[in-house]
Structure 1
């Protein structure tokens, strides 16, 4: 089985940034099929555009734009790419980086598919940071990474606890059926629990309010649609559940310090580096 060295992802790199103990690449995948392999270092894969099938020894994933995976080192897997433009964003971290910040990966086996909207928000901010790279970028990126690993640790701890039946179901509804989240009452009815109980208990399992979780999930979906370029900002605002484009633009700018249209322009493809 082939081991891929740092920065190897079977594609054409739009961009590569090396920060000594971690490497970031923006890559268009060029191989329809990649046989079993593993990577030298742990890394995040964030699918920016297109679709990808990935399987490891325990499970498989059908990934669409906006999907986020974290692979521990030596996590063996293989990939199949449909015949369409597919683009991934990778953050590869050396063991020295983890040692520097005293982060242990012992509790992470294989790969994790991460749905937490705050982790995704961090990765999108890292992606944006790479497009305006300056002398503060490394510090800003590492702060976002540290916050992400803190949230991953919390996710693993919470997952090991016994949870009520509604916890997994509410996530499915928020991510797959956002129309059921238009009011607390309708969501609670779908979960068959009291609205007050849902409001009070949600932060216990997700470390944030229900409203905040829904808001960031919508923002993340909006960013994915912005990067994919197929729809106008008005269409995106409506699709992700905002009242109007103005409300969407104001909230987006507040969270990313940039307008949606400027974000789209800044994150377009740049010159390829073939690998």
Structure 2
């Protein structure tokens, strides 16, 4: 049986991001391209979401028809075979390296169980994909947060937020236009990065990247209404890499285009 190296899949890899022991890749399978239907396995456990197309998947315990929108978990070294693939086909793959498993306290059994028992975990690759599209300085840290919160969520509690949560919020609001990373933020509030990743989505609306983007859009609202700066100038002043990202993020949070808001 063929064992594929990390970040290697049978399709054509169109994008890849590696950070914090996680690997995120998008693979495509196009008409006219020979498909490898050999029995194979992967070095690391991973999740795969079928974004487009479908496939007939064979494993030791059975055969399954996989369709677009379905999320599947593969154990490290678990043999499987894909055939009768509907083309064009596209997958997003979320790979878990050994160091991520160790630092996060996760194991393959609990990860497979989370996918089965937590409905929200099935959307994890989609949320990861959304962070990839955002493509800002907080993308890698936000993906780590999403994974930990979905697969290893903190226990439910009615207690007041810990003091470090308040400090984290103050720091982010003070530095709204600066790239603040997970490691830096964790060190500033004196908690482990894994703890911050697990608890951040509980007390803040979304991931680190989503929260920073919300702060920047809020500042842009004021600048659009109170200055004569161009929208491009405002985009850069608010920490966006270009006006395309600014427009997309602004619309995501407000439902409006920046130019529409300026004319209101």
User: If the TM-score is normalised by the length of the shorter chain, which range does it land in?
Assistant: 0.5 to 0.7
- Deviation at residue 65 of structure 1 after TM alignment: 0.7
What does the per-residue CA deviation read over 1:149-187, in whole Å, with 9 as the maximum and x for residues that have no partner?
A: 137xxxxxxxxxxxxxxxxxxxxxxxxxxxxxxxxxxxx
The separation in 2 between residues aligned to 1:258 and 1:36, in whole angstroms, is: 48
Q: How many residues align?
A: 155
Where in structure 2 are the equivalents of 1:27-106 lying within 5 Å? 27-29=27-29, 30-106=33-109
Using the size of structure 2 for normalisation, the TM-score is 0.52
The separation in 1 between residues aligned to 2:34 and 2:20, in whole angstroms, is: 28
Structure 1 stretches of 4+ moved >3 Å: 30-33, 106-109, 111-117, 256-259
Q: RMSD value over aligned CA atoms?
A: 2.7
Where in structure 2 are the equivalents of 1:113-152 lying within 5 Å? 114=116, 116-150=118-152
Runs of 5+ unmatched residues, structure 1: 152-252, 260-275
Higher CA-based Rg? 2
- Is contact 1:69–1:112 with CA below 8 Å preserved after alignment? no
Greater RCO (Cα-Cα under 8 Å, separation 6 or more): 1
What does the per-residue CA deviation read over 1:30-79, in whole Å, with 9 as the maximum and x for residues that have no partner?
A: 55342111101011100000011111101222111100011110111111
- Is contact 2:44–2:96 with CA below 8 Å preserved after alignment? yes
Using the size of structure 1 for normalisation, the TM-score is 0.50
The separation in 2 between residues aligned to 1:86 and 1:258, in whole angstroms, is: 33
> Aligned in 2, Cα 1:105/1:83: closer, same or farther, shift over 3 Å?
closer
> Aligned in 2, Cα 1:64/1:147: closer, same or farther, shift over 3 Å?
same
The separation in 2 between residues aligned to 1:114 and 1:51, in whole angstroms, is: 20
